[in-house]
Amino acid sequence: MSEKEEKQGGSDLANLFWENVKFYGGTILLVVVIMTSVGQAYKIPSGSMEDTLLIGDFVIANKFVYGARLPFIDYRLPAITEIKPGDVVIFRWPGDKTTPYVKRCVAVGGQTVEIKDKQLFVDGEPIPDAKDAKHIDGRMIPRSRENGDSRDNWGPFVVPKDCYFMMGDNRDNSYDSRFWGPVHKDLIIGRPEIIHWSWGEDRNAVEVNPADPLSVPKLFLYNIVHFPERVRWERLLNIVN
């Protein structure tokens, strides 16, 4: 092979390498942008939104609808629509500004929230519970001199500007704005649109134990065997509302 051919071969390899870098780098960047700005999957870890969302539901969040935050730069795109009372919203918990929470917005900035004997009032009007909301505790917890407001008797409270008051649909078992306050618009992530997967709880399932290296393959095999009954087939592709 001549020196000219060697140089040409080296140039071709360099060009091929650079084209691959651009292709795969661009693909990775596109995936990152989509996941951080447009849509992302979230797993429901608690029962605070039962029976609208169950533990083990996996939802796709639309991050674009309330104004997607662009990655790498601190800029939020204009919202397509504003959050309204009744919307189910994913946001970062105000306590650490990191952990994703999902609750239902019951009031927006300027509105007055009050709870009397479990009944929610907004601007003095009683608000019906969402279709799949529930109360699971028959006790009626009053206000107390020591602790003030309670779960079942709370407020009145005027929601600050650019903030939202969030409550779980499982009203007696939800850690929400009654306990840690309103959510500022800067903490909003998006709206859960659809349940793309739902994995039911199974108390007989093998527990992962760091002291038992075989617990992971045991759990994998258990899930394979019990796959048909653990999937909540009736919830797949359900719209969240």
Question: Residue 85 and residue 93: Cα distance in Å, rounded?
Answer: 18
Radius of gyration of the chain (CA): 24
β-strand partners of 140: none
Contacts of 53 (CB under 8 A, 6+ apart): 44, 59, 88, 102, 169, 192, 195, 240
Contact by Cβ (8 Å): 88, 104: yes
Stronger pLDDT, 23 or 69, i.e. the higher one: 69
In a domain? residue 4: no
In a domain? residue 33: no
Mean pLDDT over 151-160 rounds to: 97
Is the pLDDT at 19 greater than 60, yes or no?
yes
Question: CATH number, domain at 44?
Answer: 2.10.109.10
Confidence of residue 197 (pLDDT cuts 50, 70, 90): very high
Task: Specify the pLDDT at position 36.
Answer: 47
Mean pLDDT over 96-112 rounds to: 97
In a domain? residue 19: no
Task: Specify the pLDDT at position 30.
Answer: 40
Chain position carrying tokens 């850690």: 175
Task: Specify the pLDDT at position 10.
Answer: 52
In a domain? residue 24: no
In a domain? residue 94: yes
163-195 residue pLDDT tens? 999 999 999 999 999 999 999 999 999 999 999
Percent with pLDDT over 70 in the chain: 81
β-strand partners of 42: 59
Q: Which domain holds residue 161?
A: 38-239
- Residue 164's nearest CA partner among 141, 140, 182, 188 is 182
22-35 residue pLDDT tens? 555 544 444 444 44
Is the pLDDT at 130 greater than 60, yes or no?
yes
Q: What does the angle CA 83 – CA 56 – CA 101 come to, to the nearest 5 degrees?
A: 35
Average pLDDT across the chain, whole number: 87
Is the pLDDT at 136 greater than 60, yes or no?
yes
Is the pLDDT at 46 greater than 90, yes or no?
yes
Is the pLDDT at 97 greater than 70, yes or no?
yes
In a domain? residue 30: no
Task: Specify the pLDDT at position 27.
Answer: 46
In a domain? residue 108: yes
In this structure, the number of other CB atoms found within 10 A of the CB of residue 46 comes to 16
Task: Specify the pLDDT at position 73.
Answer: 64
Is the pLDDT at 43 greater than 50, yes or no?
yes
In a domain? residue 195: yes
User: How far from 67 is each of 154, 161, 180, 190, 191, CA to CA, in Å?
Assistant: 31, 17, 24, 8, 11
- Number of domains into which the chain is organized: 1
Is the pLDDT at 85 greater than 70, yes or no?
yes
Question: Residue 232 and residue 226: Cα distance in Å, rounded?
Answer: 12
Is the pLDDT at 145 greater than 80, yes or no?
yes
Question: Residue 167 and residue 180: Cα distance in Å, rounded?
Answer: 11
Confidence of residue 78 (pLDDT cuts 50, 70, 90): confident
What tokens were used for 210?
A: 């760091």
